[in-house]
Amino acid sequence: MTVILIFSILSLFLGIILSYIKYSFPIKKNSVVVAVDNLLPQSQCAQCGYSGCYPYAKAIVKDSENINKCIPGGSDLTFKIAKVLNIENVEKSLDSSATKNEKKIYTTVLIDEKNCVGCSKCASFCPVDAIIGSPNFMHTVLQKFCTGCNICLLHCPTNCIKIIKE
Amino acid sequence: MKKKYNFKGGIQCISIKKDPREYFLNYLPDPEKFFIYIKYSHFKKNRLRVKVGQEVLCGQPLTFGDDLIVPVHSPTSGWIKNIYFNPKSSDKNQEKIKIVILSNHLNKWIRLKTIKNYKTYTPQSLIKIIYQSGIVGLGGAQFPSSKKLTLSINKVHTLIVNGIESEPCMTADYCLMQNYINEILIGCKIVAWISKVKDILIVIQEDKTELILKIQKIIENKQLFKLCIIRKKYPGGSSKILIKSLTGKEIPYGKHSIDMGYLVFNVATIYAIKRSIINGEPLIKRIVTLYNKDKNILSKNFWVKIGTPIHFFLNYLKIDSNLNTLIYSGGVFMRYLIVNLNYSIQKNMNCIYVKKNKKNKKKIEYPCINCGYCVHACPVNLLPQEMFLYCKNSDNQKLKQLNILDCIECTVCEKVCPSNIPLVKYFRIGKKIQKNIDIENDRKKLFSSLFRKREKRLLIEKKIFYSKDQISNIKKLDIFSRTQEKEENNSINQKIIEKSLRKEMLKEAIKRAKLKR
């Protein structure tokens, strides 16, 4: 009888301590969002409709967004996210979408420096700050940091940006 | 007798060479055409210095070189016939340029700048000379020596001179040491002066008794030098195994021997450094062993100019290169098949191995029986048997735990295996996949960090743009906190709506009560 009493009191104390710790030091990052964010390709291409990969991961977890919107990831990524989130019947939803699992080719972007007029539109839209240059001067791409998202192609008024293989 | 150093695993092999003629150096005549291949990638531009039709002299640099790529020199005097660009290469990032040089058989040299007293120069200027004479590691890795030396300044305490050839048929380094030992010792002193080394260890295998006695005589009175003898075993030439057997320390993955304080150089590289600094010659020739398996007499050592086509080399020795013969670069264990005979001798080729093609014997691959011979033979303490299992099932996480990237592809496990499994072939595929995964993860980390930095920057810009009393609004502009804000707003709105509904209900009820009266 005394043994049971001692252990029950001990467990009560431990429970109180644990709950106090959880109250005072809360976990700031949502671990599921981070796990999904790590799976995404991080090219920040904004083809899913969100401004980057982290907002999309957040939308998947919190707003129950469709998981097949990432185009560079393909259907391979959809399966991986489904495994993390424990979603069944992924194949049904895969049939409806047009995502294909193509072989990955890394591309970057090159500015034809002769034709660049220095409008600095591309630099302001680049999601990773890979384009440098000041207004009315020639712009260049830092090849090391370019993710190949091709956002800058749409905003160039002189069509001087080309896609090249890495 | 001195202590003999040993290492775990490996195979003992019988030395085949007996013929004293092997150890003499032979010379090749100049071929008519030289083919020089240059690594070329889009981002690290190895710019050309010559045009088609231009006359070149012996030792004239053909390219400018980059931070990581050393310049390439012309092996002969003549004129440039053609330059081919080959963008369709199997390598992802390295396109190859092929330069064809017609020689005029005169061998006119450019003016060489000789240095008599190297101690009057600073280490940086000596390293610059080494870089400009295009010296790379001649052991096989082709890492630029100048880069290695710049990294090693004020970091290393011992220089290890690697004179080991673990492959049983190769004698190129032995031959070099036999003939040019004095020049090699001068080269050691130069390297020691550049990187401020306290000891120099010369490592030789035990079966080369003549050479050991010869070196011992020279070294006797010198305090800097020390001679180490290693047991005759395959593989011993790799720098990781060498340091482990000499000192007992293991180099962890991702670190170089320089971080541990040891600088490892091949004998041929040190000879090339001496020639470049004291004689001013750039690296345009090296010693190549030719080993013919069927006729043991024919194995000899040759001074070969880099860029000599392989078919010329074989024609001069009267070896017919038809379909019945297989030609490899490398020795018995580590070898690569040469398919294109127009390919020329590169800086990292130290042996050419000719073998007859036997069609009758075809090795059958039996299933693995878990005998564990490969585990005992592995010199770097890996588990080839388990790695093979996970390679077949493509379990990449388990492969990373077993440290597949530490494998040095020595093919010892393959030779030992009783069921003829081509283990290294599987490991190469596994290593490639593992490297790709690592690159992908690095990319992801870099890009996500860049994206976060940009978000922060935009936030700061907006803070400057807005006035001070509007700071409370700025929080809403951050994308990461925006969604949270939305949720809170929604819940507040809902509460307000509910309250207003209740008020209306109450008002209506009061009205009805008034009407009843």
> Within a 13 Å sphere around the CA of B338, how many CA atoms are in the beta-carbon half?
26
Q: Is B391 annotated as a binding residue?
A: no
Residues of A in contact with B479 (CB under 8 A): 51-52, 54-55
Tell me whether residue B11 is exposed, middle or buried, using C-beta atoms within 10 angstroms of its C-beta: 0 to 12, 13 to 18, 19 or more.
Answer: middle
Record: contact A44-B446, CB cut-off 8 A: no
Do B298 and B180 fall into the same domain?
yes
DSSP-derived secondary structure letter, B250: P
Whether the per-residue pLDDT at A99 is higher than 60: the answer is no
Do B105 and B208 fall into the same domain?
yes
Instruction: Answer whether B8's CB lies under 8 Å from B160's CB.
Output: no
CATH number where B42 lies: 3.40.50.11540
CB nearest to A53's CB, from B448, B453, B480? B448
Residue B490, min C-alpha distance to chain A (Å): 14
CB nearest to A128's CB, from B43, B92, B450? B450
Span B80-86, average pLDDT: 84
> Distance of CA A63 to CAs A134, B483, B484, Å?
39, 10, 11
Taking the C-alpha atoms of residue B421 and residue B367, their distance in angstroms, rounded to an integer, is: 8
Q: Is residue B473 part of a domain?
A: no
Strand partners, B99: B36, B83
SS3 sequence of A94-115: HHHCCCCCCCCCCEEEEECCCC
CB nearest to A147's CB, from B43, B447, B479? B447
Q: Is residue B130 part of a domain?
A: yes
Taking the C-alpha atoms of residue B335 and residue B302, their distance in angstroms, rounded to an integer, is: 19
Whether the per-residue pLDDT at B402 is higher than 50: the answer is yes
Query: In B, what residues contact A, Cβ < 8 A?
Result: 42-43, 92-93, 443-444, 446-448, 450-451, 453-454, 457, 479-480, 483
Do B126 and B209 fall into the same domain?
yes
Q: Is B175 annotated as a binding residue?
A: no
Record: contact A129-B454, CB cut-off 8 A: yes
Cβ of residue A83 closer than 8 Å to a chain B Cβ: no
Please report how the helices A53-62 and A74-85 are oriented relative to each other, as an axis angle in degrees rounded to 10: 40
- Per-residue confidence at B468, pLDDT binned at 50, 70, 90? low
Do B139 and B229 fall into the same domain?
yes
Span B312-322, average pLDDT: 80
- Phi and psi at residue B154, to the nearest 5°: 60, 25
Residue A27 pLDDT: 73
Query: What ipTM describes this predicted complex?
Result: 0.78
Q: Is B58 annotated as a binding residue?
A: no
> Distance of CA B137 to CAs A90, A162, B197, B285, Å?
53, 38, 19, 13
Residue B292 pLDDT: 78
Amino acid symbol at B48 = L
Q: How confident is the model over B140-150, as pLDDT tens digits?
A: 777 888 888 88
Q: Is residue B187 part of a domain?
A: yes
Q: Is B351 annotated as a binding residue?
A: no
More confident residue, A107 or A93: A107
In B, minimum Cα distance to A146 occurs at B447
Residue B92 pLDDT: 46
Record: contact A59-B457, CB cut-off 8 A: no
Q: How confident is the model over A38-84, as pLDDT tens digits?
A: 888 888 888 888 888 888 888 888 888 888 788 877 777 888 888 88
Do B294 and B389 fall into the same domain?
no
Do B289 and B400 fall into the same domain?
no
Strand-pair category, B225-230 with B4-5: parallel
Q: Is residue B515 part of a domain?
A: no
- Per-residue confidence at A91, pLDDT binned at 50, 70, 90? low
Q: Among B281-295, B476-490, B500-514, which is the least confidently predicted range?
A: B476-490
Do B303 and B380 fall into the same domain?
no
pTM of the model: 0.74
Residue B472 pLDDT: 55
Q: Is residue B509 part of a domain?
A: no
Q: Which residue has the tokens 């949270």?
A: B484
Strand-pair category, A140-141 with A131-132: antiparallel
CB nearest to A145's CB, from B42, B450, B457? B450
With a pLDDT cut of 90, the percent of chain B lying above it is 2
Do B108 and B199 fall into the same domain?
yes
- C-alpha dihedral (A61, A62, A68, A70), degrees to nearest 10: -90
Record: contact B454-A62, CB cut-off 8 A: no
More confident residue, B485 or B384: B384
Span B442-464, average pLDDT: 87
Q: Is residue B259 part of a domain?
A: yes
Q: Which residue in A111, A84, A33 sits closest to B448, CA to CA?
A: A33
The first and second tokens of residue B219, run together, are: 């070294």
Residues of A in contact with B446 (CB under 8 A): 145
Spell out the residues 6+ positions from residue B113 whose beta carbon is closer than 8 angstroms to its own.
B280
Record: contact B483-A55, CB cut-off 8 A: yes
Q: Would you list the DSSP string of B262-324?
A: EEEEEHHHHHHHHIIIII---S-EEEEEEEESS-GGG-EEEEEETT-BHHHHHHHTT---STT
Do B415 and B288 fall into the same domain?
no
Q: How confident is the model over B218-273, as pLDDT tens digits?
A: 888 888 888 888 888 877 777 888 888 888 888 887 788 888 888 888 888 999 99
SS3 (DSSP) at B205: strand
Most A CBs within 10 Å, among B91, B394, B447, to test the A interface: B447
SS3 (DSSP) at A130: coil
Q: Which domain holds residue B162?
A: 11-317
Show which of B428, B452, B473 is a domain's final residue.
Answer: B428
SS3 (DSSP) at B5: strand
Most A CBs within 10 Å, among B450, B458, B462, B478, to test the A interface: B450
> Distance of CA B262 to CAs B143, B195, B258, B303, Å?
16, 11, 5, 30
For chain B, what is the largest distance between any 2 Cα atoms, rounded to a whole number of angstroms?
Answer: 133
Residue B9 pLDDT: 74
Residue burial A79-91, b: 16+ Cβ < 10 Å; e: rest: eebbeeeeeeebe
Q: Is residue B21 part of a domain?
A: yes
Q: Domain total for chain B?
A: 2
Q: Is residue B453 part of a domain?
A: no
Instruction: Answer whether B25's CB lies under 8 Å from B300's CB.
Output: no
Taking the C-alpha atoms of residue B263 and residue B200, their distance in angstroms, rounded to an integer, is: 10
Do B417 and B272 fall into the same domain?
no
Do B273 and B413 fall into the same domain?
no
Amino acid symbol at B464 = I
Do B291 and B379 fall into the same domain?
no
CB atoms within 10 A of CB A45: 18
Q: Which residue in B82, B53, B139, B85 sits closest to B348, CA to CA?
A: B139
Record: contact B483-A58, CB cut-off 8 A: yes
Residue B451, min C-alpha distance to chain A (Å): 5
- C-alpha dihedral (B422, B428, B429, B432), degrees to nearest 10: 180
- Per-residue confidence at A20, pLDDT binned at 50, 70, 90? very high
Q: Would you list the DSSP string of A42-90?
A: -----TTSSSSHHHHHHHHHHS---TT--TTTHHHHHHHHHHHHT---H
Amino acid symbol at B211 = L
